[in-house]
Amino acid sequence: MKLLDLKAPKTTVEPRPARQAPPLAEFELPLPAPLAGYGSSALFSLHGRQDGPLIAVLGGISADRFPAFCPDGRPGWWRGLAGPGCAVDPARHRILGMDFIADPTGARAPATHEQAAILCAALDFLGVERAHAVVGASYGGMIALALGQHFPERVERLTVVSADAQPHPASTAARELQRRIVALGLETGDPDEALSIARGLAMMTYRTREEFAERFEGGIPSEQCLDRSEPGAYLRARGAAFVARMTPQRFLSLSASIDRHKVDPARIRVPALLIGADSDQLVPAAQMEKLAAAFGGPAELRLLASLYGHDMFLKDSDRVSALVDPFLRKAA
């Protein structure tokens, strides 16, 4: 697999001295020529203690560069794992967040090692030879694994939550159906509704039947074929929220990027903590066990019983944080 040379100019903006840096800083790096199809630049955030060990925090394809805090002070997308008193704590760490690169036309999918290369470019910009850790969940966990294989000298340890060396065939099948729906929506002039439906289908793979049984009544209330059920109303709401922050083209690019992902765990020798959910449909526990067994370096696997399936890392983030915290505190 050919890797990219990221010795392009890092930025035209000089970083501020540490004493002047705001609590939440943002910076932008131009993409090198081989990645020009994925936009002109990549966006990052940096938050926390200026002299603390740097930890990159990466999530699913809908995550943004604000894992701990948003610019307006609201908690970021991984509350419970990144934030005050959490395993990744701005009082102790420098927290690096990243917006993933994607094809704005929706035609091409970046590889996870290309996302990892962009992360390395951010480390170069910050003058960091090795990150203390990368904590990645779902798509972000795939990027962490790619970093561990292709750029092992850039990170001391990996935390990988609900991600494997390559996608499960059934998970690829579900995502391909979602992409076909979105592509059809683009062709027929209703991309937002198509993206909303695709997100609803995705939610059915993220969560569990047991959670749906606890929260909703099944069935529809009338003879009208398109009458809304309780779970259907929930999925419509989640779809609308997704449409508000994700374009159909970006979704196509990043969804396909998941299915391009492939690493050789035997070549990953960076110490790793692997965390999975026993109820995960997308990355089943058996996959996490196989990954741990194939790891080239020391790998500790922890499987959590969870009602929330693949979304365990978000819904049970306090439990994930309790596992991650001692791992991050270990001496390198």
Max CA-CA distance within the chain?
66
The mean per-residue pLDDT over the stretch 251-266 comes to: 98
Domain that holds residue 162: 21-166+262-329
- Residues above pLDDT 90, as percent of the chain: 91
Question: Are residues 174 and 277 located together in one domain of the fold?
Answer: no
Catalytic residue, candidates 45, 62, 138, 253: 138
Catalytic residue, candidates 89, 99, 164, 280: 280
For residue 58, the surrounding DSSP H or E stretch is strand 54-58
Question: Are residues 92 and 61 located together in one domain of the fold?
Answer: yes
Of the candidates 100, 95, 120, 119, which has an alpha carbon nearest to the alpha carbon of residue 110? 100
Q: pLDDT value at position 331?
A: 67
Q: pLDDT value at position 11?
A: 36
Cα–Cα distances in Å, from 235 out to 61, 175, 204? 18, 17, 9
Please write the tens of the pLDDT for every residue from 47-81: 999 999 999 999 999 999 999 999 999 999 999 99
40 annotated active-site: no
Catalytic residue, candidates 310, 311, 316, 317: 310
- Do the domain assignments include residue 16? no
Question: Are residues 242 and 272 located together in one domain of the fold?
Answer: no
Q: pLDDT value at position 330?
A: 87
319 pLDDT exceeds 80?
A: yes
CATH code: domain of residue 29: 3.40.50.1820
Question: Are residues 150 and 208 located together in one domain of the fold?
Answer: no
Please write the tens of the pLDDT for every residue from 84-113: 999 999 999 999 999 999 999 999 999 999
280 annotated active-site: yes
168 annotated active-site: no
- Do the domain assignments include residue 95? yes
Q: Rounded mean pLDDT of the chain?
A: 93
Is the pLDDT higher at 24 or at 192?
192
Q: pLDDT value at position 74?
A: 94
